[in-house]
A and B are shown apart, each in its own frame.
Chain A
Amino acid sequence: EVQLVESGGGLVQPGGSLRLSCAASGFIVRSNYINWVRQAPGKGLEWVSLIFSDDSTFYADSVKGRFTISRDNSRNTLYLQMNSLRSEDTAVYYCARGYNYGDYWGQGALVTVSS
Chain B
Amino acid sequence: QSVLTQPPSVSGAPGQRVTISCTGSSSNIGAGYDVHWYQQLPGTAPKLLIYGNNNRPSGVPDRFSGSKSGTSASLAITGLQAEDEADYYCQSYDSSLGGWVFGGGTKLTVL
Interface set of A (CB-CB < 8 Å, partner B): 35, 37, 44-47, 50, 58-61, 94, 96, 100-108
Contacts and interface: CB of A to CB of B under 8 A. Distances in A.
Contacts of B99: 47, 50, 58-60
A103 B58 CA distance: 11
A40 B15 CA distance: 33
B64 interface: no
B48 A37 contact: no
Contacts, number: 59
B34 interface: yes
B104 interface: yes
Contact-size category for B: 20 to 34
Nearest to A103: B48
Contacts of A58: 98-99
Nearest to B4: A44
Given A96-B46, A102-B91, 17 more contacts: A44-B103, A45-B46, A45-B89, A45-B91, A46-B102, A47-B99, A47-B101, A50-B99, A94-B46, A100-B34, A100-B36, A101-B34, A102-B38, A103-B51, A103-B57, A105-B48, A107-B45
28 contacts: A35-B100, A37-B46, A44-B105, A45-B38, A45-B91, A45-B102, A45-B105, A47-B100, A58-B98, A58-B99, A59-B99, A61-B97, A94-B46, A96-B46, A100-B36, A100-B51, A100-B93, A101-B34, A101-B48, A101-B52, A102-B46, A102-B48, A102-B91, A103-B48, A103-B51, A105-B46, A105-B48, A108-B45
